[in-house]
Amino acid sequence: MAVLQAALARVRERDPRYNCFTAVTEARARQEAAAIDARRARGETLPPLAGVPYAVKNLFDIADEVTLAGGRVNASNPPARSDARLIERMRDAGAVLVGALNMDEHAYGFTTENSHYGACRNPRDPSRIAGGSSGGSAAAIAGGLVPLTLGSDTNGSIRVPASLCGVFGLKPTYGRLPRTGSYPFVGSLDHLGPFAASAADLAAAYDALQGQDPDDVACAQRPAEPALPALADEARPLRAAVLGGYFTEWAGPQARRAVEIAACALDAGARVELRGAAQARAAAFVITAAEGGALHRRRLVTHYDYYEPHSRDRLVAGSLVPAAWTQQAQRIRHRVYREALALFEDYDVLIAPATPVPATPIGADWLALAGGQLPARASMGILTQPVSCIGLPVCTAPVWPRAGQDDHLPLGVQLIAAPWREVDCLRAALALERAGAAQALPL
């Protein structure tokens, strides 16, 4: 109970500045913490996350709470009747749920500048964005509010905020973790995963979340493959390479410096290219627009004014995408996936920047990149979209380039592995952490 009380005190003290939480489930948290204390008093063997406070992006169903998914249009929905599958697994592991976290409406954005519930502010610099769409999940870790959070990643929504807030985040292989009981965005691209302040904590949370689920048609029928014990296995050195080409072209100087730091620590002298990266990003845009637009088409007709101004026109446009376009996008997706598999015949981990630049000021419409001006809210995902489109597992590790006018800000690297090889991502993150190349620095 003392650990929970300390976490609740931090939320009360710090969250008014960061705006991470949209709900605090204090009564539930006290019940869960009391149950752990009772088990400890009886001398029982405790589960692996016993008493650890955590919070979830507000698109996860929490029993007796309304699942907002960042949207005003959802506020009048009935409360969830049961917990999301991953919340059930966290509860079984002994973790204590303290609340729901801010996000871009319906997960369609990279900044968490939510017009309904307010912008989430980056604890590294509260004048800057936290990233998105899981901005509250990353900021709650960076601000020291809770040690673990859960988020979702469709086009980069775990990796972008982890990069900008300077924490660790894991987007597992598509189909690895069940999405049952979470508000959907793009069924063929949605992933769920954890955030933490260290690679070991990230692996511990990931292990608690694993397991088959017949209620999620995308969740592969694969047995759990514990990652935390494997982090200590140094018998097989990782073979790492840097992803160049597209991933260098669309990286600013701080992003390139972050990759250099990671490459040096992992002894990654080779440079390779994913030639279809630009096409994969284009395919992700088409699939996202079509599936997201179809999901919201009916309510956009009846409740257009309730929707977020940053995304509603894009959803309307997406609802008009021809089926032939999505079919072609899926063909491109499969082709680039095969191209990536060929790279993993020689390497275990590919290194790329997670965001093109550090966190931009809240309200910024443009960012400078590659000699031009790009729309800020869409372009933060320029380096993550090609990877999530093909479903590969990625751990974002926080690097501090200490370069340029934003030298007080972090910028993460993507550590990309072959399908179902989350352990390689996590081993690379741990290696960077031990080398001092990646750290989720306390405030």
Please give the positions annotated as active site.
Answer: 57, 133, 157
Helices (H) and strands (E) in the chain, counts: 14, 17
Q: How far apart are CA 266 and CA 367, in angstroms?
A: 30
Tell me the two tokens of residue 282: 């284009």
Q: How far is CA 85 from CA 136, 156, 162, 216, in A?
A: 20, 22, 23, 10
Tell me the two tokens of residue 44: 């029982």
Q: How far apart are CA 385 and CA 13, in angstroms?
A: 35
Secondary structure (3-state) at 373: strand
Cα angle 382, 58, 169; round to 5: 45
Instruction: Give the residues across from 192 on adjacent strands.
Output: 152
Question: 442: buried, middle or exposed (CB in 10 Å: 19+, 13-18, 0-12)?
Answer: exposed
Q: How far apart are CA 193 and CA 158, in angstroms?
A: 7
Q: How far apart are CA 272 and CA 274, in angstroms?
A: 7
Cα angle 57, 229, 55; round to 5: 15
Residue 413's nearest CA partner among 356, 343, 348, 337 is 356
Contact indicator for 380, 131 with CB cutoff of 8 Å: yes
